[in-house]
Chain A
């Protein structure tokens, strides 16, 4: 869908070409890494390959950033999704604005739109693995996997998976945690997506990437509903592309 290709051209990557009149030559062909996002995010002027925002909606406690976007009007589904996400202050501790996707799940159309946006992006990309990070990645991953004909691989906290596992440790603010995957769930050479509801610091996602790469799977992209850009998780993903629908800021 040409309009969605326009949306993928954001200022955070090196794609050239104008957001308004794209030429095919200026877009890398998938599966070249596209550190792109469809987001209600701020962006620079339209002279770069980014999208100028107009018509900021009133600030509300949703995951969308303070400015709305041409993207919302180009893809009306983003606005619905963004406004369906509830922000809960001071959870799990003071100072944290928690992005609650459960309210999105209460809106069948918005939930379906969320899945559709991912499916449209990935369906023809020869992806055979959708890995979902426990627990909210289990909500978004399976519907995507089913729609694109891929297997679903749960990535879990320690001691939950019953069979032999491989583990990857990652740092928390204080201490470390681990995620695990079943041995044999994926094969060398498979192309994978990693799904979670949200990327914050990127610790969990980068551990998930390492787990898959250790068994020689090609991680095509990480996909989240929400990004918290101030936490710079995107940078922690190394050369892996990240695709998100909305910013929480």
Chain B
């Protein structure tokens, strides 16, 4: 793995705590398991701190996190920068009125939802997830926010799989990640 920034010393600890699980959920996929990072309080704190240092004081009022692992990283960031946390969920989970955004998967489609009224026009937002692969889910998340008039300032992920070119799918929206995984 390599770092995407000038090597902040904290990145080494973060990188080494991520466990790669081969052939999950299916053959050929090297799954990036962040649960082992969460078992190390210092590494988890460093992860959050790196995002908070980047986004504090930038007038960001919304942190949108993608179900379910975005729920782990998004709220601590939101709390530290004084923003609201907005969960973006699979269909039928959110109880109130929602707007939905469909997106394409390798086979078939999926859908992401956000509560109506959670975000107001003109708000500045981050989208947070543990990982960016093809970028499909992040795109759907950005669409949801932009449809209600929010400005997506950046997408933030712990891990990027650059070979899947998700960054290109983000239509020019900035992406910030802590570590890249390159399959040797």
Q: Point out residues on A near B: beta carbons under 8 Å.
A: 86, 88, 91-92, 98, 100, 102, 105-108, 111-112, 115, 134-136, 138-140, 142-143, 145-146, 149-154, 156, 159-163, 182, 185
**B-side contacts of A154, CB under 8 Å:** 35, 38, 72
* Cβ distance B144 to chain A, nearest Cβ, rounded Å: 14
* Cβ distance B31 to chain A, nearest Cβ, rounded Å: 5
Q: Point out residues on B near A: beta carbons under 8 Å.
A: 19, 21, 24-25, 31, 33, 35, 38-41, 44-45, 48, 67-69, 71-73, 75-76, 78-79, 82-87, 89, 92-96, 115, 118
Kindly count the residue-residue contacts between A and B in the assembled complex, taking CB atoms under 8 Å apart.
104
Interface of B is mostly: mixed
Q: Which of A92, A143, A150 contacts B75 (CB 8 A)?
A: A143
Quick one: given A108-B78, A135-B71, are A86 and B96 in contact (CB under 8 Å)?
A: yes
Query: Please, how many angstroms separate the alpha-carbon atoms of A149 and B45 in the complex?
Result: 9
Query: Are A108 and B41 neighbours in the complex by a CB distance under 8 Å?
Result: no
Q: Which of A92, A102, A146 contacts B76 (CB 8 A)?
A: A146
**A-side contacts of B72, CB under 8 Å:** 138, 142, 152, 154
Q: Which of B33, B40, B84 contacts A105 (CB 8 A)?
A: B84
Q: What would 13 more interface pairs be, CB under 8 Å, given A139-B87, A152-B38, A152-B72?
A: A102-B96, A102-B118, A105-B86, A106-B86, A111-B79, A112-B79, A135-B67, A135-B68, A152-B44, A162-B25, A163-B19, A182-B35, A185-B35
Query: Are A151 and B82 neighbours in the complex by a CB distance under 8 Å?
Result: no
Q: Which of A102, A140, A156, A185 contacts B94 (CB 8 A)?
A: A102
* Cβ distance A83 to chain B, nearest Cβ, rounded Å: 16
Query: Are A105 and B87 neighbours in the complex by a CB distance under 8 Å?
Result: yes
- The 11 listed contacts between A and B (C-beta, < 8 Å) are A88-B95, A100-B95, A102-B86, A102-B115, A105-B86, A108-B78, A151-B40, A151-B41, A153-B39, A154-B38, A163-B19
